[in-house]
Amino acid sequence: MFKNQLKTTILLSFLFGVFLVIGYLLGGQSGLTIAFIFALVFNVISYWYSDKLVLKMYKAQPATKKEYSNLHKMVEEISHRAKIPKPKLYIVPDKNANAFATGRDPKHAVVAVTQGILELLNEEELKGVLAHEISHIKNRDMLISTIAAVIAGAISYLAFMARWAAIFGGRGDGRNSNIVELLALSILAPIMALIIRMAISRSREFIADETSARLTGEPKHLASALQKLEDNSRKLPMRMGNQSTASLFIINPFSGAKMAKLFSTHPLTKDRIDKLNSMKL
């Protein structure tokens, strides 16, 4: 787990470093400040209301204790082990077998599962998945992903400014500017930011897998669940939502569409399974 935590720290630091360099080269201190404030405001609003937006997007409904008593019992037990408040439970009406966690902090957290996952997994496998989502809450991954999104968003905004600077002949500060360099900056900077952001997302998945295994004491149950979820997602991709929310889910629900590993929100499922099966608790 320490290796992946260190990786997240290094990637965030590098992402911020890219932002500082690009902002300074493009507009000096003022350009840097404007871009950062713009991205910060946009992403903080998104972070604060993310749970409501995502639940609405996936038509999630509260899981009543009467109908889903066993599910509530499992979440309560795992939350107690994780030493966090019990999150709210929601059901997503979709045959794709999946789950996600959202919410700005452990006191305002939500765990949502699809109808498909309740039909596909046995109880032990479902516990592993729930522990994975509760691990995201415990590890404050929503906050980490928001920080990454703020910086990446600011870099994209700076890249947009660079394109306009290239079109209109410079930065407007009296210095000569190279149009080719500005155009290259405007194209490569958002790609670099996206690659780093996706790498952070993948590292957090590995950490959540390991935390889940330690909470349940049974890494092989989560490994078995991941294989079933991967197979299901290929056969029955999610019918609602869009790719921009894929990082929330335990398995990419839109994995019917292949994408390069560098731009993937999740590690290869095989790598996750191998790590879980080799864990010694």
Residues with a catalytic annotation lie at: 133
Residue 42's CB is within 10 A of a number of other CB atoms, namely 15
Measured CA to CA in angstroms, residue 106 lies from 84, 129, 151 at distances of 6, 17, 23
Question: Residue 161 corresponds to which tokens in the numbers above?
Answer: 């400014």
CA distance 99 to 221: 16
Determine the residue type at 196. I
Phi-psi region of 208 (alpha: psi -120 to 50; beta: other; left: phi over 0): alpha
Strand partners, 91: 61, 113
Read off φ and ψ for residue 177, nearest 5 degrees. -130, 150
